[in-house]
Amino acid sequence: MSDSICIVGGGLVGLSAAIALASQGRRVTLLEARPVAEIENATQPDELDARSIALSHSTLRIFQALGLWNDLQTQTAPIKHIHVSSAGHFGVTRLDAKSLQLDSMGAVIEYHVLIQQLLQAALQQESIEIISPALVESVALSDQGVNVSYERDGQEQQLQADLLVIAEGASSNLRESLGIDITTSDYHQSAVVANVRVNTPQMGVAYERFTPDGPMAMLPLIDSRYALVWTQPVAKVESLLALSDKDFLQQLQLHFGYRLGAFSEVGRRAKFDLKLSRASKLVAGRSVLIGNAANALHPVAGQGFNLALRDVGVLHDCLRDIDLTSEVLPSRLQRYQQLRKADQQQTVRLGDGLVSLFSNNLPLLNHLRSAALGILDLCPPLKTEFSWQGMGFGKGLSSLMRGQR
Ligand SMILES: Cc1cc2nc3c(=O)[nH]c(=O)nc-3n(C[C@H](O)[C@H](O)[C@H](O)COP(=O)(O)OP(=O)(O)OC[C@H]3O[C@@H](n4cnc5c(N)ncnc54)[C@H](O)[C@@H]3O)c2cc1C
């Protein structure tokens, strides 16, 4: 096989990369361990059950450039305002799309809706072949190409490609087998995720509230629902999950307050244990790590998928106009690694810094964070800069972010 790409992992990031790289006329084979039917039928038992993803403005631009946005838009709720506060303190920051001359700062979509749409878009592309269920067991890299061994229906199979894209998620095995180390730090926190209903109309406001136990986000969803991401120390999470719906809503009301009125309904609760993990490098020979396999972040700033999509945008640019069989490929991948360093570092620092600054109850830090939120709110240039960074426009624009393929 010549001039071909193999992507391992069909999560949000692997599927997005397949669509972006196929848009350059590349032949892409995507191997996913789960049966595709499981993803296609991933509707939840009821409409309140789903993890949700806040898509930053830069992600919306990339989806527009890839022709995905029209189908997605009807299933998303726009974020018109962001309200950041610290529980029990005065400092508040309000970020506003209008002041940036934008209709929205981003949008929120349920995870299962997003992955299904991406899968449908990938299945419709003739140049993308999805093989599933297929568990990749090992890869062998050479100067000429990549040999991928995978298991399908109990049979060992092989395929050759010119470029290997590893989108296996945070616990990637191939990363380790390629000798790429990761550094991991445990936040000792879990996120309790659930969708909730309130008794007031949804006005496109996303709330980020910092509490000594951890940050809490309330993101607007379609159908007047909100997606709750409630971070708690690991020791407190099981008791929160064990509460009846009524008691859970009571606790939520107590911690979040009444700025959205009364919470009236909650869907199934799920928990995610939170760790920061970062790969020591993104590239080995003819292979490249993307998504959670490269950087898995705390969800506090809603940046994991958005950062990965910016990676996909830059990878798309770095591969433009080259023959993947040529010797140029490894140097283009090195260039990709270099270009992504600043954005990845800045995004990781932002999320990690927010968790460290706000997840405690030290009196001095209480004053400091109230002051920080207050100053940010009163200083429009600082607020504008912060907003553009949060929307994914901090470091460099790929052509997909500029609306060009
Ligand atoms: C509670 C929570 C809230 C979040 N909110 C946001 C948000 O608002 N905004 C945002 O941008 N990000 C958010 N994120 C982060 C976002 O969900 C992740 O960054 C993103 O889903 C990572 O996708 P991925 O494709 O890299 O990895 P994964 O979703 O882990 O997918 C990896 C895929 O690879 C497959 N696979 C693994 N190994 C193999 C193998 N050997 N062979 C074949 N297939 C394999 C797996 O089956 C899986 O399908 C949130 C995360 C959490 C936990």
> What pLDDT, on a 0 to 100 scale, did the predictor assign at position 27?
97
DSSP state of 105: S
User: For helices 380-390 and 363-378, what crossing angle results, to 10°?
Assistant: 100
Evaluate whether residue 212 is within a structural domain: no
Which residue's C-alpha comes closest to atom 2 of ligand 1?
Answer: 299
Residues of the chain with pLDDT under 50: 1-2, 45
* Ligand 1 atom index nearest CA of 173: 41
* Token pair for 237: 């999470």
**Cα distances (Å, whole numbers) of residue 230 to 93, 190, 266, 357, 364:** 20, 8, 13, 17, 24
What's the rounded Cα separation, in Å, for the pair 230 and 192? 5
C-alpha of residue 378 to centroid of ligand 1, in Å: 37
Nearest protein CA to atom 11 of ligand 1, as residue: 305
Atom of ligand 1 nearest to the CA of 305: 11
Which residue's alpha carbon is at the smallest distance from atom 52 of ligand 1?
Answer: 299
In a domain, residue 367? The reply is no
Residue 169 lies in a domain: yes
Residues 377 and 93: their CA atoms lie apart, in Å, by 5
Residue from 36, 168, 192, 282 to probe ligand 1 pocket by mutation (most atoms less than 8 Å from CB): 168
Ligand 1, atom 3, residue with closest C-alpha: 299
Query: Positive or negative CA dihedral for 375, 379, 380, 382?
Result: negative
Ligand 1 proximity of 10 Cβ (cutoff 6 Å): yes
Q: Are 369 and 89 in contact (CB under 8 A)?
A: yes
Pairwise CA distance, residues 204 & 98, whole Å: 12
Token couple for 309: 């999509």
- Evaluate whether residue 127 is within a structural domain: yes
C-alpha to C-alpha distance for 209 and 225, rounded to whole angstroms: 18
Please work out whether the CB of residue 108 comes within 6 Å of at least one atom of ligand 1: no
Total domains, the chain = 1
Q: How far is the CA of 261 from the centre of ligand 1 (A)?
A: 33
Does the residue 248 lie in any domain?
A: no
Ligand 1, atom 38: nearest CA belongs to which residue? 168
State how far the Cα of 394 lies from the Cα of 81, in Å rounded to an integer: 19
Containing structural domain, residue 165? 4-77+108-184+276-357
357-368: per-residue pLDDT in tens?
666 665 556 666
Whether residue 192 lies inside any domain: the answer is no
pLDDT of 1: 40
Check which CATH number belongs to the domain holding 156 and give it. 3.50.50.60
Task: Specify if 223 maps to a domain.
Answer: no
Tell me which H or E stretch contains 39: helix 36-40
Predicted TM-score (pTM) of this structure: 0.93
Tell me, yes or no, whether 84 lies in a domain: no
